[in-house]
Amino acid sequence: MVDATTRHEALSFMDESSGYNQIRMTLSDEEMTALKTPKGIYYYKHVDDLLVKSKRRQDHLKDLKVVFDRLQKYQLRMNPLKCAFGVTSEKFLGFIIRHQWIEIDQFKIDAIQKMSRPKSLYDLRNTFDSIKKYLLNPQVLRAPISSKPLILYIAALKENVPCTFRHIFFAIDKLRHYMQAFTVHLVAKVDPIKYVLFRPIIFGRLAKWAILLQQYEIVYIPQKAMKGQALANFLADRPIPLDWKLCEDLPEDEVFFTKVMEP
């Protein structure tokens, strides 16, 4: 839902005042609101917030009129103090929605910055400064474009193909809702998907990986070699011995021709 709000020039947010959760949600969207509770999974069937979005700003008034006619038909009232019309950015579900990207709410960043220092050894061991620095400088996320595939770069070699799957499944676990909705182009030197799916007999962990990979549309794209990368790989694969010395002597004792170049 958050990703669907980007790439819209005009946004309007409205909140009901006559009651709570009066708008019936479609059945296909109920699963998107699932919450874990001690008694099981909880779904929202009704909501009380409205979001009107328009690709072009000049069409926003027409879209608002359609929504207002529907509200008047079912006698629903909005709270004007909690409404914002024709804005380009607003907080929505804990994120700051803008025209081209999504940002983290500054209130969450301030809460991390104002965290108290650890007062005991136990608190100190559970404090990770690197994680705090990472959260304080969040990356700006752009919403994926439906007509373009996602690109996943993996540093895979023939010698470490089994270890490469840990990186692939880490990306699947963190970006599951993206990878299920888009085609993923896997860019690597070797094809790790072929290593699993085209084996005559698989069992154990490989069988679990094969079943999980069939849920996604992953296309292998061979990585093109670059001159700079090829040179770096050549130097990395052939390190200079510690006892190597530069030989300044000529390979032959006889010299057939010499020429002096002027500076």
* Crossing angle for the helix pair 205-213 and 161-174, to the nearest 10 degrees: 50
Res 76: pLDDT: 76
Res 142: pLDDT: 67
Residues 21 and 82 reside in one and the same domain: yes
Residues 129 and 90 reside in one and the same domain: no
Chain position carrying tokens 């009704």? 46
Residue 32 belongs to some domain of the structure: yes
Residues 116 and 61 reside in one and the same domain: no
Residues 149 and 229 reside in one and the same domain: yes
The sign one gets for the Cα dihedral 38, 44, 47, 53 is positive
Residue 30 belongs to some domain of the structure: yes
Residues 94 and 81 reside in one and the same domain: yes
Res 218: pLDDT: 82
pTM above 0.85, yes or no: no
**3-state class percentages of the chain: helix first, strand second, coil last, to nearest 5:** 35, 20, 45
Distance (Å, rounded) from C-alpha 160 to C-alpha 157? 5
Res 58: pLDDT: 87
Residues 160 and 202 reside in one and the same domain: yes
Res 18: pLDDT: 55
| Amino acid making up residue 130 | S
Distance (Å, rounded) from C-alpha 96 to C-alpha 155? 33
Q: How many CB atoms lie within 10 A of CB 218?
A: 20
Residues 92 and 115 reside in one and the same domain: no
Q: What is the pLDDT along the chain (263 residues), one digit of tens a residue?
A: 666 777 778 888 877 665 555 566 666 666 666 666 767 776 665 566 778 888 888 888 888 898 888 888 877 777 788 788 888 877 776 777 777 777 777 787 787 778 777 777 777 777 766 677 767 766 656 667 777 888 887 776 666 666 777 777 787 777 777 777 788 888 877 777 777 667 677 667 777 777 777 788 888 888 776 555 666 666 666 666 666 665 555 555 555 556 666 65
Residues 96 and 63 reside in one and the same domain: yes
| Amino acid making up residue 42 | Y
Distance (Å, rounded) from C-alpha 36 to C-alpha 70? 33
Q: Which domain holds residue 120?
A: 107-136
Residue 62 is encoded by which pair of tokens? 């027409």
Chain position carrying tokens 């020429």? 259
Residue 80 belongs to some domain of the structure: yes
Residue 147 is encoded by which pair of tokens? 């007509």
**Three-class secondary structure assignment of 185-248:** EEEECCCHHHHHHCCCCCCCHHHHHHHHHCCCCEEEEECCCCHHHHHHHHHHHCCCCCCCCCCC
Res 259: pLDDT: 65
Residue 247 belongs to some domain of the structure: no
Chain position carrying tokens 């779904």? 43
Element (H, E) at 113: helix 106-113
Cα–Cα nearest to 96, from 235, 191, 24, 2: 2
Residue 84 is encoded by which pair of tokens? 């914002």
Res 54: pLDDT: 85
Cα–Cα nearest to 219, from 198, 191, 199: 191
